[in-house]
Amino acid sequence: MKDDEEVNKSDLLGILLESNSKEIIKEHGMSNREIVEECNTFYLAGQETTADLMVWTVVMLSRYPEWQTRAREEVFQVFGNRKPDSDGLNRLKTVTIILNEVLRLYPPVLFFNRRVQKDIKMQNLSLPAGVKVTLPILLIHKDRELWGDDATEFKPERFSEGIAKATKGRLSYFPFGWGPRICIGQNFSLMEAKIFLTLLLQRFTFELSPAYAHAPVIFLTLKPMHGAQIITINCSFKCVQAFGISTFIPSGASKYK
């Protein structure tokens, strides 16, 4: 970016360039390459993950129509046919516990790594400096010792009294990471997912198409390998149409099936 160049401050790139140009004056700025890397991080960290959350939620609500009905009842109770607003979104309790449970069973980010800075001892474990530690989010989210015998089942009600109660105060649920590097987009993505679900539930009932094959796969994040084919029934016109909600279909197949 040149000194006299105007930036569009209404998007992320513009804000980043504007803020960076002030830092450059103080000699702490980022290079163009670093700016591009920041944008890539936001795209991957922010877009793919939230899209995965939405897809798995639609799959789960199709598989468990009783939860779809409960979520729709709540949405109509809070918003009727109105557009969602932030006050109402904060009152969506059933939708929130559904999203929590989807993030437990289908966390878009499956693990994250840390490098040990200095020798430490944790109970009977000695970790020397330099060792890389992997925190397997999915394995911990499905651990029977931590979650009970129904650990692998879809039961949003386990979150009905909040995350601390569901985890019994243990660090067994961290779809957004933990500690100083916890996801900065956590609230934003949950808000996005709630808006999406509200608009979807207000307009459609949906079920899994016979074409759907359940095959979670890791492709950077956790996705349905063959996409998610969903049959939607328009709530107002009662007509049936089919469309695929998918974020990843391998082998270059059509995005919408």
Is there binding between residue 29 and ligand HEM (CB under 6 A)?
no
For ligand HEM, which stretch binds (CB under 6 A), given 108-116, 158-166, 227-235, 245-253?
108-116
Based on the shown chain and the rule CB under 6 A, indicate whether residue 231 belongs to the binding site for ligand HEM. Answer: no
CB of 65 to ligand HEM, least distance (A): 24
Q: Given the complex with ligand HEM, which of 128 and 180 has the nearer CB atom?
A: 180
**Minimal distance, residue 237 CB to ligand HEM, in Å:** 32
For residue 239, say whether it is annotated as part of any ligand binding site. no
Q: Which of the stretches 27-35, 62-70, 82-90, 171-179 binds ligand HEM when contact is defined by CB under 6 A?
A: 171-179
Distance CA 255, CA 257 (A): 6
46 binding ligand HEM? (CB under 6 A): yes
18 touches 8 (CB < 8 A): no
Is residue 108 a contact point for ligand HEM (CB under 6 A)? yes
- Nearest approach in angstroms of CB 191 to ligand HEM is 9
Side chain identity at residue 161, one-letter code:
E
Residue 223 binds ligand HEM, judged by CB under 6 A: no
Alpha carbons 51 and 9: distance in angstroms, whole number: 25
CB of 2 to ligand HEM, least distance (A): 27
Q: Does 185 bind ligand HEM (CB under 6 A)?
A: yes
Position among 17, 53, 89, 228 found at the interface with ligand HEM (CB under 6 A):
53
Query: Is the Cβ–Cβ distance between 62 and 235 less than 8 Å?
Result: no
The answer to whether 188 contacts ligand HEM (rule: CB under 6 A) is yes
Contact pick of 64, 112, 154, 196 for ligand HEM (by CB under 6 A): 112
The residues near 235 (Cβ < 8 Å, ≥ 6 apart) are 202, 203, 204, 205
Instruction: Give the nearer residue to ligand HEM in terms of CB position, either 69 or 187.
Output: 187
Provide the annotated binding site for heme. Answer: 183
Chain positions contacting ligand HEM, by CB under 6 A? 41-42, 45-46, 49-50, 53, 108-109, 112, 175-177, 181, 183-185, 188-189
